Amino acid sequence: MNCAVLFSGGKDSTYAAYLAKKEGYTISCLISIISENPESYMFHTPSILKVEKQAEVMNIPIIKWDTKGEKELELVDLENAIKKAKDEYNIETIVTGAVQSIYQVSRIKKICDKLDINCFNPLWQKNQIQLLQELVENKFEIIIIGVFAYPLDKKWLGRKIDKKFIEDVKKLQEKFYINPAGEGGEFETFVVNCPLFEKKLKIINKEIMGKKNSWKMEILVK
């Protein structure tokens, strides 16, 4: 079955693509929404333009669609991007990396119903610690490129998600009620390597900006 993956370049959408392929789906294309609004309700924004490099090392076509990122109106842009994927790649299913966001998954499902295609959410309601452990076990190499909640700070940028990271976020979950997989928007990620990639991406430059407990890292990769 042909599918398109709603793809941000982060851990959840990339892992969802991996699981969809294991389930027998053919990934016909990726869909990335490029939002002008860094506070988008729907879409990941740090280093979003680097999805092109990820698509290249996955050897999968990508549809990039710009949006101003205005609440609810950005859904019209998402619908247009999905329609383009349906028309050009004959997709039958949209794959998402949604884990807990009812806001996101309900709106994507509504668009899919309107366009008469299926919606597959392989990570839905997965335990967040288990999700992180599965990523490590399946050899996903992931870095933190944005932090947006106390007590996370600049020092977390560039950290890899590994066993030490999982232990650290477990402690933060217990003490500060941080979502360990960042489901509350506490942090954003970027996948530099995984089983879907033909080669590992290398970070050749980075720009860090922010203050207090809100920091992001724009990266250049090759």
Q: Is residue 78 within 8 Å of residue 42, measured between CB atoms?
A: yes
Residue 80 has pLDDT above 80, yes or no: yes
pLDDT of amino acid 70: 87
Q: Do domains 2-120 and 128-221 have the same CATH topology?
A: no
pLDDT bin (cut points 50, 70, 90) of residue 48 is confident
Instruction: Tell me the domain boundaries of the chain.
Output: 2-120, 128-221
Sequence-distant (6+) residues with CB within 8 A of 137 are none
**Fold observed for domain 2-120:** Rossmann fold (3.40.50)
Domain 128-221 CATH (choose: 2.170.130.10, 3.90.1490.10, 1.10.10.60, 3.50.50.60): 3.90.1490.10
157 pLDDT more than 80:
yes
pLDDT of residue 88: 98
- 143: which strand partners? 160, 190
- List strands edge to edge, sheet with 203-211: 187-193, 141-147, 214-221, 203-211
pLDDT at 112 over 90: yes
Q: Does the pLDDT value for residue 144 go beyond 90? A: yes
